[in-house]
Amino acid sequence: MFIIGGNVTSNKTILTHERLSIVGIDSGAQPLTSEDDTLILAVNGEIYNHRLIRKSFGEKYKFKTHSDCEVILYLYAEHDIEAPKMLDGMFSFILYDSKRDRVVAARDPIGITSFYQGWNSSQPDTVYFASELKCLHPVCDKIISFPPGHVYDSETNKTTRYFQPSWWEPSRVPTAPLDLKVIRATLEKSVRKRLMAEVPYGVLLSGGLDSSLIASIAVRETRAGSDLNSYNTPNGANDHLVGIDDEGHLKTVRKYERLRSFSIGLPGSPDGVAAQKVADFLGTEHYNYTFTIQEGLDALRDVIYHLETYDVTTIRASTPMYLLSRKIKALGVKMVLSGEGSDEIFGGYLYFHAAPDKAAFHDETVRRVKNLHLADCLRANKSTSAWGLEARVPFLDKEFLDVAMGFDPQEKMIGNGRIEKWVLRAAFDTSSDPEAEPFLPRDILWRQKEQFSDGVGYGWIDALKDTAASVVSDEDFAKRGELWESDAPDTKEA
């Protein structure tokens, strides 16, 4: 076996990796190897419970780095392919066990990180994995999006689901009572976990409910968290690692006194105005960028290239996020918190008004959460990673999902004086306690939802439609079936 830079090669297995360093920046170069070099790991992601896992091992293993991902090697050594069940984070990984000539691959429960699997019919015994679809396209004639919450084992050549929460089957309609205090506490803990970093970080702030709550919690958590100003040695005390401990306390490396927040929109957009108001209220160091319609149109080809999809809604929303990510990375920021997932969990889209009963409402929320890896997670991950920026999504925390998907969905339904996402708004409404510090201004906390691509400026959607109408002739559109057969676009914009 040969390990050269970011590559590992054996007679049958090749691993290659390009790293964005967030944790363990001075010692976590990949691929990671076990103490005896028999286990080799290439991984994209963050493991938020790595300090707890390290502590559980005691002195049994000698860690080479203080990368959060190194714990995967020893979880596998202890628990075999059950290891992914014990990870709390976002991840896609491939692990090679040289003793058994075995490959194990897994993806996080919701599919926050991108991961693909491919095959070549001329090499039926070969399987390919990659974080980008374009890596597999030249060599594979069959490619799938590796299913979230699953693990692949080359010994059996099978992929099985390891993520099996109680809410996963939509027919099981929850009946547990709603506890707003638990909703709040669990989301606060989720944000706290995701502030684990050794690099400059910030928060995406659209001025809507979801991103504003994440920003508000992040401001409080960074204010309360324990600051690490120097890095640990790989085998130093566990207390000197970034992340949360077994009591839920955060240790992180802060680079700035004030949390940085970022927004983007067309001049005068609803998001820009609301985001500035929230930033002023929270006291963040806010960067409110604008883009022109032409800048958005000019970026479309690159956005489609990086997103690896031509889904209309995804591309519409991804373009402003792509442009914003470039601005953020230019400031030296390498990680941001983002608000994806809330609408799917709490039924925030306006069509949820039409749900006939709580069973149908719950069924649709489960379906939307299961499909997040095809849309919002894909957008958040790839729009940012195109510029070497990492997006973390607190709403998709495993523990928070168990809580937010586990109470009676009647509480989420719209009507009888309740607007969409009433549960989330009420959980962070402190107006009944005059001594409590408010999380947000009341008009922001109870502001009706804007779709991200609408909130950046209503002219953006109209411009895309108008451009498509002028570029694609009626004659060409009529022949779309001849060009794309079963995958023909249903509109000119598509």
pLDDT digits (tens, 9 = 90+) for 421-447: 999 999 999 999 999 999 999 999 997
CA nearest to 242, candidates 302, 291, 193, 197 = 197
CA distance 486 to 488: 6
Query: What is the sign of the dihedral through the CA atoms of 152, 156, 157 and 161?
Result: negative
Q: Which residues are annotated as a binding site for ATP?
A: 204, 264, 338-339
Least confident segment among 130-139, 167-176, 251-260, 392-401: 251-260
Return the percentage of the chain with pLDDT > 70, whole number: 89
Task: Look at residue 376 and tell me whether its pLDDT is greater than 60.
Answer: yes
Q: How are the residues of the chain apportioned to helix, strand and coil, as percentages rounded to the nearest 5?
A: 40, 20, 40
pTM of the full structure: 0.91
Least confident segment among 186-195, 218-227, 233-242: 233-242
Task: Look at residue 225 and tell me whether its pLDDT is greater than 80.
Answer: no
Domain segments of the chain as ranges: 2-161, 180-456
The topology (CATH level 3) of 2-161 is Glutamine Phosphoribosylpyrophosphate, subunit 1, domain 1 (3.60.20)
Average pLDDT over residues 151-180: 95
HEC letters along 231-245: CCCCCCCHHHCCEEC
**pLDDT band at residue 242, thresholds of 50, 70 and 90?**
confident
Instruction: Give the H or E element holding residue 127.
Output: strand 123-130
Q: What is residue 251's predicted lDDT score, i.e. its pLDDT?
A: 73
CA distance 31 to 67: 11
CA nearest to 85, candidates 190, 158, 161 = 161
CA distance 491 to 472: 10
Q: Which residues are annotated as a binding site?
A: 68, 204, 264, 338-339
Q: Is there a cis peptide before residue 31, judged by omega within 30 degrees of 0?
A: yes
How far is residue 372 from each of residues 44, 246, 325, measured CA to CA in Å? Answer: 18, 30, 20
Mean pLDDT score across all residues of the chain: 89
Cβ neighbours, 10 Å, residue 60: 10
CA 152 to chain centre: 21
Q: What is residue 233's predicted lDDT score, i.e. its pLDDT?
A: 40
How far is residue 194 from each of residues 114, 137, 197, 258, 350, measured CA to CA in Å? Answer: 18, 33, 8, 17, 29
Task: Look at residue 216 and tell me whether its pLDDT is greater than 90.
Answer: yes
**pLDDT band at residue 11, thresholds of 50, 70 and 90?**
low
Average pLDDT over residues 456-464: 84
Structure tokens that stand for 398 in this block: 């495993």
Architecture of domain 180-456 in this structure: 3-Layer(aba) Sandwich (3.40)
CA distance 211 to 169: 28
CA distance 442 to 216: 13
Beta strand pairing status for 201-204 and 335-337?
parallel
Q: What is residue 257's predicted lDDT score, i.e. its pLDDT?
A: 76
Q: Which amino acid is at 186?
A: T
Q: Which residues are annotated as a binding site for L-glutamine?
A: 68
**pLDDT band at residue 458, thresholds of 50, 70 and 90?**
confident
pLDDT digits (tens, 9 = 90+) for 280-336: 999 999 999 999 999 999 999 999 999 999 899 999 999 999 999 999 999 999 999
